[in-house]
Amino acid sequence: MNILEFIFHQDNILFSSAIILMVFIALLEGVLAVLGAGLSDMLDSFIPDFEPDMDFNIDTDSAYSFTKFFGWIRLKEVPILMLLIVFLTSFGLIGLSIQFVLLKILGILWLQYLIAIPTFILSIFSLRIFGGIIKKILPKDESSSISKDELIGYIATITLGKAKKGLPAEAKTKDNHGQTHYFMIEPENEYEVFEQGEKVLILGQSETSFFATKEIQEKIK
């Protein structure tokens, strides 16, 4: 069995697909970055705010446990797109590595769904480890960064899609420190529609997006 036959064997499709998906996501982010849209920032805008807690323990309160788990895997500390790429890469490589060892020792490939369980668990720990490495590598700009709620009062530009009440589109704005923020935004009023390229005034923030108006009378910053 050559390397390609091994990678695309029916009992390795789950792991090879994870690597292919990782490559596709990385290429998509590259293309969107060239076009001026940020997939990573857009995904991060959907994550509710919480205080990261590095000490994860099973708790009787499921919501609290999930919050601690998200903090443990460094969500909100590292861009979610980077975490997704790390997880998919880890899942694919660990799964293929386990299958390769089993093939060499036992001469057979196990059912991928049996291998997927320990592979998933190992990938979570890999996410924690490599997320910490990425966190240290990323530029530290705490002194100049601002939180999402501080964007209220800024002027944003619609970058992708058409926004209606209840149907947000992607927008971006640049803060006083020159940092560009991408997020989802929708009109505050039902009669307004935001077209791509239009400028709007950010009025507030909901759990998943911002709301704004085209009736800009004054630029507040």
Taking the alpha carbons of 139, 140, 143, 149 in that order, is the dihedral positive or negative? positive
Residues of the chain with CATH 2.40.50.140: 148-213
Rounded to whole angstroms, the Cα distance separating 151 from 41 reads: 14
Q: What is the pLDDT of residues 106-165, one digit of tens each?
A: 877 878 888 999 999 999 999 989 988 888 887 654 444 556 678 888 999 998 888 999
Share above pLDDT 70 across residues of the chain, in percent, rounded to a whole number: 75
Share above pLDDT 90 across residues of the chain, in percent, rounded to a whole number: 27
DSSP 23: H
pLDDT of res. 117: 93
pLDDT of res. 71: 72
* Higher per-residue pLDDT: 212 or 221: 212
CA atoms within 13 A on the CB side of 171: 32
Q: What is the pLDDT of residues 84-103, one digit of tens each?
A: 999 999 999 999 999 998 88
Task: Look up the CATH architecture of domain 148-213.
Answer: Beta Barrel (2.40)
| pLDDT > 80? residue 56 | no
Residue 32: which region, alpha, beta or left (left: phi > 0; alpha: psi -120 to 50)? alpha
**CB burial class (10 A; 0-12, 13-18, 19+) of residue 22?**
buried
